[in-house]
């Protein structure tokens, strides 16, 4: 492909919110590059061609501006968007089901982590929702949920890693209980982190553990209490001692 020509991506709008009086920020689910944050400049202007295109549940063909291939870019610029065909907009209860699917993808997938099979499954279930057949809608929904669960398992708990991850979480929780007097829960979380780089690119089984509250992250008053930092350091030291003792 010649330099300067923008590649077209197949995409759906999962979420949009106001950026300014005339522009929007979109969370796009693309087949080729996964979830992307995209700025649609001027999309809210009365005569913008994007006003009737950037709708949920409609397949789009989009192109991004210069630098769109930068994996470290937080937000890309929308260059163009065209309707690529698809089913009518779901209505009634099916509309809420559609938004549930969008929320599921927003919580499940990290940015710039493509899953073509999941994209295709999403594209296939939308016409089922639009058909307004309750039985078929429920069957399509359950099938999509099952595929989403399988994708999540492949992302973070491959067959070869399950035992390693379980040992990691068991040992780290035991060390935390010895220091803190309580055992922290082992849970999945709906936000992204650099842990995905270790798991996906580094092929390293990983458990995330640390001080603070994610609700305070990336905010004006972002902070971590010093006593929590000290407690975390003691837990990690105790965990290293336990691992060396076993070795």
Segment 139-161, tens digit of pLDDT: 888 888 888 877 766 665 554 55
* Cβ atoms within 10 Å of 109's Cβ, excluding its own: 22
- Cα distances from 106 to residues 15, 83, 183, 188, 190, in angstroms, run 9, 22, 29, 14, 8
Asked which of 33-37, 114-118, 145-149, 183-187 is least confident by mean pLDDT, the reply is 183-187
pTM: 0.62
pLDDT for 2: 44
pLDDT band (50, 70, 90) for residue 1: very low
- Give the orientation angle of helix 93-108 with respect to helix 116-130, to 10 degrees: 170
Q: For the chain, which residues make up each domain, given as ranges? A: 8-155, 162-246
CATH 3.40.50.300 fits 8-155, yes or no: no
pLDDT for 23: 95
User: Is the Cβ–Cβ distance between 8 and 63 less than 8 Å?
Assistant: yes
């Amino acid at each position: 492909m010649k330099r300067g020509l923008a590649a077209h991506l197949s995409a759906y709008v999962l979420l949009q919110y106001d950026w300014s009086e005339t522009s929007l920020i979109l969370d796009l689910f693309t087949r080729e590059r996964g979830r992307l944050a995209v700025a649609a400049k001027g999309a809210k202007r009365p005569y913008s061609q994007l006003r009737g295109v950037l709708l949920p549940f409609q397949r789009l063909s989009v192109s991004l501006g210069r630098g769109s291939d930068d994996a470290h870019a937080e937000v890309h610029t929308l260059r163009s968007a065209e309707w690529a065909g698809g089913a009518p907009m779901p209505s009634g209860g099916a509309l809420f089901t559609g938004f549930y699917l969008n929320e599921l993808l927003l919580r499940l997938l990290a940015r710039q982590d493509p899953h073509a099979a999941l994209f295709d499954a999403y594209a296939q279930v939308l016409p089922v929702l639009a058909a307004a057949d309750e039985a078929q809608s429920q069957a399509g929904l359950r099938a999509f949920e099952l595929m989403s669960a399988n994708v999540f398992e492949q992302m973070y708990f491959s067959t070869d890693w399950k035992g390693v991850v379980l040992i990691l979480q068991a040992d780290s929780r035991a060390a935390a209980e010895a220091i803190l007097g309580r055992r922290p829960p082992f849970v999945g979380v709906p936000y992204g982190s650099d842990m995905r780089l270790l798991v996906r690119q580094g092929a390293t089984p990983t458990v995330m553990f640390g001080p603070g509250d994610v609700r305070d992250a990336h905010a004006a008053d972002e902070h971590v209490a010093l006593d929590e930092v000290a407690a975390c350091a003691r837990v990690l030291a105790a965990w290293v001692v336990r691992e060396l003792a076993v070795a």
